[in-house]
Amino acid sequence: MPKIWDKVLLTVSLGIPCLFAISLPPIVSRLGPVRTGTFAVPGLNRQHQYSLLYSVAPLMAFSSGARVTVEIVVGKSIVLRKTLHAGDPDLYTQFRVSHPGSATVRVTNSGVTGTFTLEVNRWPLSRIVRSGPGHRWQDAQEIDLGNTIFASGDDSPYIPLPGTSRLATEEDPNRTDWYWFKFSGPTPRLVFFQIDLTDWDQIPANVIVYRYDHGKLREYYDGEDPVTLPHEVQALPGNKFTPRILKTPGTYYIAVRSSHPEYRLRTRVYDPPPYSDPHAAVRTGVDYILAAGDSWHANTPRRGGILDRISSVHQETSLCVACHTTHFPLRAQLYATRNGYPVIERQQLQFLTERFYNNPRPFYGFEKEGALWARMISAPANVLGRM
């Protein structure tokens, strides 16, 4: 997966139509028994960004207490550190440097007996491909509104180290990536900030918008969805989608909390309401309701979301289509499509459709009659009839 991901990122950054059109030679390529040691990465510069893959095989090389710590050291600073174990045996990341020179990959082995693969590649510097360090707002990566940012969040643990407290997992700074952009106006703009996840496993993601004002970073709320605040008991606060209306020129920051190996940060720009053109109103409204419905399910209340991948999702919340967040958005898009509006929120529409489709379950004991039962909160006959 990581080598394919490298080619995907290169394709995106260069605008190459063929997915596997280019495979650049690696700067560093090593294969051998896992051991403690260092590897030099020479010739780094500010005109490129760099990817690193370190993986251990087979998985049985990790005993219950075995660990491998991988660090990227530039100068005297540790740019990134991750500890690999049986629940997370590899690291993939992209990084950049502030000064030309070299870096060191430092590996510390504690009881692992397998084989390692190390590969470092050079890529074109790109604003639409995340490269670290970016876990502090001071190290944020500049982006342009209206683009999609392709990112890997694999520098945070996929499965937490045994013995790690849930509070430490939640507060791990490696789970948050920072971006910034300048808004120049002169007219207000409505912006949808949202996260797309290829592997949606019920770990809640969150996107937050800040404004740099008078030397301080302040959370920015103008245009916030009125139902943004947490619903009842959620695993973690936050939403994978949030709208804002940008009015004042200045510098804005985006914090994305995600422990997913791959995600996309999308920013979609619209005219703000009110609308004199009904087509603009429909387009904005349909995109909003699909994104909001999808986001609700990504952080489902009543323990529908989980803090880490060793937790179990509650069976009822994994089926629930709620009272409005699934069938209302689906109907909105279906009516809009019937009237000539193309689907923009494609991943969101697919998720909501599959959620709706997978909700009914056989009513055991009445299989011959074709009886089903469905899990929802309100308006069951109405919703079930639409399904």
**pLDDT tens for residues 149-190?**
999 999 888 998 888 887 777 778 888 999 999 999 889 999
b vs e for 81-120, b when ≥16 Cβ sit within 10 Å of the residue's Cβ?
A: ebbbbbbbbbbbbbbbbeeeeebebbbebeebebebbbbb
- Burial of residue 133 (number of CB atoms within 10 Å: 0-12, 13-18, 19+): buried
What share of the chain has pLDDT > 70, as a percent?
Answer: 89
Q: Summarize the confidence of residues 26-38 as an average pLDDT.
A: 95
The two structure tokens encoding residue 211 = 């404004």
**For the whole model, what pTM was predicted?**
0.89
Handedness of CA 126, 131, 133, 138 (dihedral sign): positive
Inter-residue contact 193 to 206 (CB < 8 Å)? no
* Residue 40, pLDDT above cutoff 70: yes
Alpha-carbon distance of 327 to 171, in angstroms, equals 35
- CA 351, distance to chain mean position in Å, is 16
Around 56, how many Cα atoms within 13 Å sit in the side-chain half-sphere?
A: 29
**Which residues neighbour 125 within 8 Å (Cβ) at sequence distance 6 or greater?**
46, 47, 48, 49, 96, 131
Highest mean pLDDT among 96-105, 232-241, 265-274: 265-274
The torsion angle over the Cα atoms of residues 243, 199, 107 and 41, rounded to 10 degrees, is: -70
Instruction: Please give the pLDDT value at position 1.
Output: 46
The torsion angle over the Cα atoms of residues 367, 368, 370 and 375, rounded to 10 degrees, is: -20
Name the DSSP class of 231. P
- Name residue, tokens 């692992």: 112
- CA 78, distance to chain mean position in Å, is 24
DSSP labels for 90-157? EEEEEE--SSSEEEEEEEEEES--SEEEEEEEEEE--TTB--B--SSGGGPEE--TTPEEEE--TTS-
Instruction: Please give the pLDDT value at position 363.
Output: 84
Instruction: Please give the pLDDT value at position 384.
Output: 63
* Residue 365, pLDDT above cutoff 50: yes
* Residue 301, pLDDT above cutoff 80: no
**Helix, strand, or coil (residue 42):** strand
Would you place residue 383 in the very low, low, confident or very high pLDDT band (cuts 50, 70, 90)?
Answer: low
Instruction: Please give the pLDDT value at position 349.
Output: 95
Instruction: Please give the pLDDT value at position 364.
Output: 85
Inter-residue contact 266 to 192 (CB < 8 Å)? yes
Q: Summarize the confidence of residues 11-35 as an average pLDDT.
A: 66
- Helices 327-338 and 278-298: angle between axes, nearest 10 degrees: 150
**pLDDT tens for residues 197-210?**
987 787 889 999 99
Inter-residue contact 116 to 51 (CB < 8 Å)? no
Q: Summarize the confidence of residues 253-261 as an average pLDDT.
A: 92
